[in-house]
Amino acid sequence: MEAAFVLYPKMTALDFVGPFEVLASVPVVTTRFVAASLDPVTSDNGLSVVPTDTFDTLKSTDVVVVPGSGHWRELLADSGGVVEWLRAVHPTTKWTTSVCTGSTLLAEAGLVTRATTHWAAREDLEARGVEVSTDRVVFDGKVVSGAGVSAGIDMALRLVEAEFGEVVAQAVQCGIEYDPQPPRSYDSIPPEIAQGLQAAFDSRQA
């Protein structure tokens, strides 16, 4: 099985590194990194990744993983070819997935009807006609979305379970020693902290 990870400038690194670590732990999974060109792509915090393929050369794949970005509104205005490639490749996939605000790109491409996303992007997802869930992972047919950033690990583990079974998923989870403690979400933190976080994310979109 082949998994293609979408790269674009200002993406959030953990959005694709987390799912990559999970999926690459399954021996039968091969991975590719696809972008607009073969030039290195730099994440929002400076991690540079070299693509293996371009949107022009990779025409089909089994799994697509779309990371998010803290600059998602800027990306929605000009995706650099990501949205167009997603529309073209989606009919060939067994699973099309997103992490964090990557679900807004799936929505922009018209590929999803129900999804989750980072809490700061819920309104933007809803504005694109998507039923927004606050669940950590959402299956919508063959489209699977994970909530913010670290939820990409959960999404990938659920995907491994769906594709290869619970035993394999448990082995991968224990192998990477993923046992987040304590559980905490945007909806469960004190209002003053939530308001401060919202203000910080809003400032990025200005």
- List Cβ neighbours of 120 (8 Å cut-off, separation of 6 or more): 101, 148, 197, 198, 201, 202
Alpha helices in 46-150 (DSSP H): 72-77, 82-89, 102-108, 122-126
Q: Which long-range contacts (CB under 8 A, 24 or more apart) does 43-49 make?
A: 43/10, 43/11, 43/12, 43/13, 44/10, 44/11, 44/12, 44/13, 44/69, 44/70, 44/71, 45/12, 45/13, 47/13, 49/7
DSSP 56-84: TT----SEEEE---TTHHHHHH--TTHHH
SS3 state at 138:
strand
- Residue 174 appears among annotated catalytic residues: no
Q: What are phi and psi of 140, to 5 degrees?
A: -130, 85
Instruction: State the catalytic residue, choosing from 11, 65, 100, 147.
Output: 100
Contact 61, 32 (CB under 8 A): yes
Catalytically active residues, by annotation? 100
